[in-house]
């Protein structure tokens, strides 16, 4: 479904991603893990159109979307939940969700259907549908950020560090929902600094270090590589 080939991306003189190859098959949950500054966010942002890659290609269902602007990437079926839960604070839950769908591909009927689907997935959002995003907790805002991405009916969902800064109980709720989405057939690329969490839910794992993919395989295989685990956990 999603294929990244020999992707290189830089921030000025910093080579943040070098010759990154990765693949996310339809219906799988793939994790990209690695320590601080490994290049995970840069890779995700290069897929999502927030960062222009220097070279390499990104294809979705065989279509080359390399270097497309983010609104076109969304229309091609890829939605990003960016690091730091970007919701619109002065808008309510429902307004945030509806606003997101306008940039997507949904008709009005589909929009209502998607809204109900998001509320089914996140009952907490349903309870707070008229609450302003600004007054919600960090966990609730993260749920709203995921809900916004789902409103565009993505073929591929990109999640950047969804657990960041959240209490363990909220992280549990969030990851249960990610697992539910996965079981329902969603295609997900998950960037996580919490490697244990990522290994627990994914089908396939890529490990990134200093801009490069240094290991990949099933969670069990990656867990068995002591050099990788010691690089990740010290
Ligand atoms: P983290 O988990 O800390 O977000 P990461 O694996 O997502 O790390 P990136 O954020 O992609 O890593 O950063 C990769 C490298 O690029 C790092 O050396 C970082 O300092 C650098 N970098 C990232 N964004 C910028 C920027 N806007 N300007 C300059 N350098 C940047």
**Whole-number pLDDT of residue 182:** 96
Instruction: Give the distance (Å) from ligand 1 centre to CA of residue 83.
Output: 12
**Whole-number pLDDT of residue 102:** 65
pTM: 0.93
Residue 161 Cα: closest atom of ligand 1: 2
Residue 60 pLDDT > 90: yes
**Whole-number pLDDT of residue 11:** 95
**Whole-number pLDDT of residue 103:** 57
Ordered strands of the 2-11 beta sheet = 14-24, 2-11, 55-60, 63-64
User: Ligand 1, from 33, 42, 159: best to mutate by most atoms within 8 Å of Cβ?
Assistant: 42
Q: Report ipTM (2 d.p.).
A: 0.93
Residue 107 pLDDT > 80: no
Domain boundaries, the chain: 2-86+153-233
Instruction: Give the distance (Å) from ligand 1 centre to CA of residue 12.
Output: 11
Task: Give the closest residue (by CA) to ligand 1 atom 22.
Answer: 11
Confidence of residue 106 (pLDDT cuts 50, 70, 90): low
Superfamily of domain 2-86+153-233: P-loop containing nucleotide triphosphate hydrolases (3.40.50.300)
pLDDT tens-digit series, residues 165-218: 899 999 999 999 999 999 999 999 999 988 899 999 999 999 999 999 999 999
State whether the Cα torsion 92-94-99-103 is positive or negative: positive
Confidence of residue 148 (pLDDT cuts 50, 70, 90): very high
Confidence of residue 121 (pLDDT cuts 50, 70, 90): very high
Task: Give the closest residue (by CA) to ligand 1 atom 24.
Answer: 11
Residue 36: other Cβ atoms inside 10 A: 6
**Whole-number pLDDT of residue 101:** 74
Instruction: Give the distance (Å) from ligand 1 centre to CA of residue 9.
Output: 11
Cβ atoms 191, 202 nearer than 8 A: no
Confidence of residue 38 (pLDDT cuts 50, 70, 90): very high
Residue 136 pLDDT > 60: yes
**Whole-number pLDDT of residue 227:** 77
| Closest C-alpha among 154, 58, 164, 52 to residue 106 | 154
Instruction: Give the distance (Å) from ligand 1 centre to CA of residue 16.
Output: 7
Task: Give the closest residue (by CA) to ligand 1 atom 18.
Answer: 37
């Amino acid at each position: 479904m999603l294929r990244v080939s020999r992707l290189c991306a830089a921030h000025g003189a910093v080579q943040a991603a070098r010759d990154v190859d990765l693949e996310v098959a339809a219906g799988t949950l793939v994790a990209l893990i690695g320590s601080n500054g490994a290049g995970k966010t840069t890779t995700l942002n290069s897929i999502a159109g927030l960062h222009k890659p220097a070279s390499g290609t990104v294809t979705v269902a065989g279509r080359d979307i390399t270097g497309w602007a983010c609104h076109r990437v969304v229309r091609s079926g890829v939605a990003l939940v960016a690091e730091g839960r970007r919701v619109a604070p002065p808008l309510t839950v429902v307004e945030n969700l509806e606003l997101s769908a306008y940039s997507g591909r949904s008709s009005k009927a589909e929009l209502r259907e998607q809204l109900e689907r998001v509320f089914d997935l996140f009952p907490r959002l349903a309870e707070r549908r008229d609450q302003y995003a600004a007054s919600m907790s960090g966990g609730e805002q993260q749920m709203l950020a995921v809900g916004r991405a789902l409103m565009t009916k993505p073929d591929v969902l990109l999640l950047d560090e969804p657990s960041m800064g959240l209490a363990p109980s909220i992280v549990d709720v969030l990851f249960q929902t990610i697992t539910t989405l996965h079981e329902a057939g969603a295609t997900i690329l998950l960037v996580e600094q919490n490697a244990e969490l990522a290994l627990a839910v994914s089908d396939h794992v890529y490990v990134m270090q200093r801009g490069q993919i240094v290991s990949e395989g099933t969670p069990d295989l990656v867990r068995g590589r002591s050099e990788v685990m010691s690089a990740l956990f010290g």
